[in-house]
Structure 1
Amino acid sequence: MKISGQFLSPTRQAEIEPFETAQRPVVGFSCNYESGLWSGFHSHPRAQLMYAVSGVMRVDTLDTSYVVPPTTALFLPAGAQHAMGMDGPVALRELFLTEDAAGRVGNMPKVIAVSGLLREVILAACAEPVDWEPQGRGHHLAELALDEIARATPLPLSLPLPRDPRLRKVIEALRERPHDTRGIEAWSEVANTSARTLARMFRSELGLSFRQWRQQTRLTEALRALTLGTSPARAAAIAGFESTPAFGAAFRAHFGITPGQARKLQPGAAP
């Protein structure tokens, strides 16, 4: 992903602060971002649910990378160090949750499916003032949002990230060029180590073999491309498949939907 600039400026932080310190258990925050922006690592004092009405977000924590296409949202607990990047223009609609509210939906990061109901609740919550009436519409929206988030289905849209700088170098290169066909012997030269050591590092740090991690990366990148309108044939090439039907079978086995269904995860312009 090409990065053209960072957006977490002091001005932006000042805009977000009222939502991070609000007295209400759930408050909504809206902002639209240009393509290619990158936030750099930061954290928030409150848990957050990050949902893009349109566009695709990539969110990295210290040990995991998440791809967040439309119809999904990422839940992050309070204090989680993370960085956000925008693949194309992104219309972000975000909920900030107090400690008590977050305790009702979980304490671990997760990507969830956003139902039609949850989508409308998020949009409605973002239209409410920060200090909504405790017994008014905002209260009912908050309760419904928390219930829907807790019930939502977690999705396999995360990739483990390493801490070892040698392995990190290989990982970053693979993420930039998921279709690269070089084997682990060639990548060991990039890491300046032996193929055996590199294979051991994949297992010990990521819990996956080199082939498994690369396959998961390729499928995740293919999903991202599909949600941006790429054809299934092109997505198959991104994932390293010569056969589109074989790609479709692997894609469905991993994500539970077909490439054609993934292409439909493109809602219209943000309200």
Structure 2
Amino acid sequence: MRATEADPPSETPWLHAVVQDSGPARMARRHSHAAGQLLGAAQGLITVDVREGRWVVPAAHAVWLPPHTAHGLRPYGPFAGWSVYVAAPACAGLPQEPCLLATSALLREAVARATTWKAGTLDAAQARLAGVILDEVRSLPPVALGLPLPQDRRLTRIAKALVERPGDGRSLPEWAGWAGIAPRTLSRRFVEETGLSFTAWRQRLRLLRALEMLAAGRAVQHIALDLGYDNVSAFIALFKRSLGVTPGRYDASAR
């Protein structure tokens, strides 16, 4: 496979699945597909950037990208995964916006079977299993591991600065003064444009960056300090509250 995914062949059935073997993966620049794409991670972690925001895709998760969604990919550490391409006419009823899903065992097994199919029209049994894959995508609830980006010019400036330095500990009033916006306006517009308060957005950013750093092999203590936490315990508490496990247990299970 090229980079972390592969374009489907020029002539494919309405559902086409491919797998990537474990090993080093390369960054893929912003591109799009005429088909919808379900990009899943079996091992390691990958980030997917779209115009509206960024998703971190850890093991046992997948991101859904509707047809013609421009996206870029960046893996962290050795990565193994798979992609399911769905022809645009078959995407009716699937999510209309990019979203992250926690994959079910049924979905993973169905995709594993689909990756063994030879090129050509799906037979009746294959079409039924392909329908199961689409049913699972429709039914699985979205997971909050995305980072929506604000559109307001002043808020975008703050967001970009924090993405570059998530450990920057300036308060909301300090950021407001830096960007030339009233603190109350900053607080209100962040909720309106991202669905998250400024504090919650920054915590989400730090959590996603922590997942990236864990996948790259960074020590938990170094991650906590780099992300601006006063002590490791505070970072571990936030991580466990968000994902239900400590960073150490998460990293061990992901590997």
Q: TM-score range by the shorter chain?
A: 0.7 to 0.9
Question: What SS does structure 1 have at the residue aligned with 2:155?
Answer: helix
Identity, in percent, stands at 32
Q: Map 1:1-271; keep pairs closer than 5 Å.
A: 16-18=7-9, 22=12, 24-31=13-20, 37-40=27-30, 42-99=31-88, 101-131=90-120, 133-136=122-125, 138-188=126-176, 191=179, 193-196=180-183, 198-267=186-255
In 2, Cα distance between the equivalents of 1:225 and 1:121? 31
Give yes or no for contact 2:44–2:58 (8 Å, CA) kept in 1.
yes
TM-score by length of 2: 0.80
**Structure 2: which amino acid aligns with 1:216?**
R
Question: What SS does structure 2 have at the residue aligned with 1:65?
Answer: strand
Distance verdict in 2 for CA 1:188–1:36, change over 3 Å: farther
Question: What SS does structure 1 have at the residue aligned with 2:43?
Answer: strand
Encode CA deviations 1:46-105: one digit per residue, 9 max, x unaligned: 211001233322112221211111111001222223222222343341001134543354
TM-score by length of 1: 0.76
In 1, Cα distance between the equivalents of 2:253 and 2:157? 32
1:45 CA drift (Å): 1.8
Count of aligned positions? 252
Question: What SS does structure 1 have at the residue aligned with 2:210?
Answer: helix
Distance verdict in 2 for CA 1:257–1:132, change over 3 Å: farther
In 1, Cα distance between the equivalents of 2:87 and 2:102? 22
In 1, Cα distance between the equivalents of 2:217 and 2:106? 25
Match of 1:3 in 2: none
Give yes or no for contact 1:61–1:83 (8 Å, CA) kept in 2.
yes
**Structure 2: which amino acid aligns with 1:254?**
S
Give yes or no for contact 1:39–1:83 (8 Å, CA) kept in 2.
yes
1:199 CA drift (Å): 4.1
Distance verdict in 2 for CA 1:54–1:167, change over 3 Å: same
Distance verdict in 2 for CA 1:201–1:152, change over 3 Å: closer
1:209 CA drift (Å): 3.1
Distance verdict in 2 for CA 1:127–1:105, change over 3 Å: same
Give yes or no for contact 2:3–2:26 (8 Å, CA) kept in 1.
no
Unaligned runs of 5+ in 2: none
Question: What SS does structure 1 have at the residue aligned with 2:229?
Answer: coil
Question: What SS does structure 2 have at the residue aligned with 1:29?
Answer: strand
Distance verdict in 2 for CA 1:67–1:129, change over 3 Å: same
Distance verdict in 2 for CA 1:39–1:31, change over 3 Å: farther
Distance verdict in 2 for CA 1:115–1:207, change over 3 Å: closer
In 2, Cα distance between the equivalents of 1:83 and 1:167? 22
